[in-house]
Amino acid sequence: MPSIMVMYVTSVHDTEQAIGQNRLLPVVVLQSAADAEPLAAALTAGGLRSVEVTFRTDAAAEAIRIMAENPDLLVGAGTVLTTTQVDAAVASGAKFVVSPGFSPRVVNYCQELGIPVYPGAATATEIQMALDAGLEIVKFFPAEQVGGAKMIKALAAPFKNVRFIPTGGVNTANLPDYLALPAVFAVGGTWMVAPDLLAAGKWDEVTRLTAAAVALTKGEL
Ligand SMILES: O=C[C@H](O)COP(=O)(O)O
Ligand SMILES: CC(=O)C(=O)O
């Protein structure tokens, strides 16, 4: 095996620890890589250790590269739909890959590279596909629209070892419903990194919302 494999295998544990520590995964859509550094600083100041930067914009790869330089932040790539994007994410220093749905091609490729991958699985069939691929942590997207915390609770009954990262429509009002479920590994969302906040460079507000969300995960609010 190439030595790069050893590096990634080590990082599976580190990755899960970093995401699981906060149980919170901000989903970032950055229009400009120039915002990557202040955003990383704002998130870590709010107490977060992990972030997903989506390939929904052309700035993604460069933003990941810049944010990955922050030693306090574990940076992953989101909205990864192709193996070409996996390559771009890895080259930029992404430590994990997230997809909205289940693509055997993307999953297989990530596994070949040894980079942790969290594909979307929102039905029993998709969860079984993930299990067949040897995965037990999946994205659950779009969470609120497909049944929310109740749906996860129902799916967790037969799939006892599966853990979910619900994303889509989560906010401070429904966050506690998700966090109350042991099957929820972490909760994803944009509310602390809303596009209008990023566009306006409101980094203090990003930190405030992040800190409030982190406090919620700790049951402090
Ligand atoms: O994966 C990202 C989703 O689009 C989440 O967005 P949202 O938290 O604004 O619903
Ligand atoms: C929705 C999601 O998880 C993603 O875009 O990666």
pLDDT digits (tens, 9 = 90+) for 102-131: 999 999 999 999 999 999 999 999 999 999
Could you give the number of structural domains in the chain?
1
Query: Is 137 contained in some domain?
Result: yes
The C-alpha atoms of residue 133 and residue 76 are separated, in whole angstroms, by 20
CA of 214 to the centre of ligand 1 (A): 18
pLDDT digits (tens, 9 = 90+) for 2-57: 444 434 444 677 888 889 888 999 999 999 999 999 999 999 999 999 999 999 99
Does residue 1 lie within any of the structural domains? Answer: no
Task: Give the pLDDT confidence score for residue 11 in this predicted structure.
Answer: 63
Nearest atom in ligand 2 to 142's CA? 1
Residue 121 domain-assigned? yes
Q: What is the CATH number of the domain that holds 15?
A: 3.20.20.70
Helix H or strand E segment including 165? strand 163-166
Is residue 220 domain-resident? no
Residue closest to 212 by CA, chosen among 192, 188, 185, 184: 192
What are the backbone angles phi and psi of residue 51, rounded to the nearest 5°?
A: -155, 150
- 221 within a domain of the structure (yes/no): no
Is residue 152 in some structural domain? yes
Assign 3-class secondary structure to 32-56. Answer: CHHHHHHHHHHHHHCCCCEEEEECC
pTM, two decimal places? 0.93
**Probe target for ligand 2 pocket from 51, 64, 79, with the most ligand atoms within 8 Å of CB:** 79
pLDDT in tens, 163-213: 999 999 999 999 999 999 999 999 999 999 999 999 999 999 999 999 999
State ipTM: 0.93
215 Cα: distance to centroid of ligand 2 (angstroms): 24
Give dist(CA 74, CA 88) in Å, integer.
Answer: 17
Q: Is 157 exposed, middle or buried (0-12, 13-18, 19+ CB in 10 A)?
A: exposed
Question: What range does the domain containing 186 cover?
Answer: 6-215
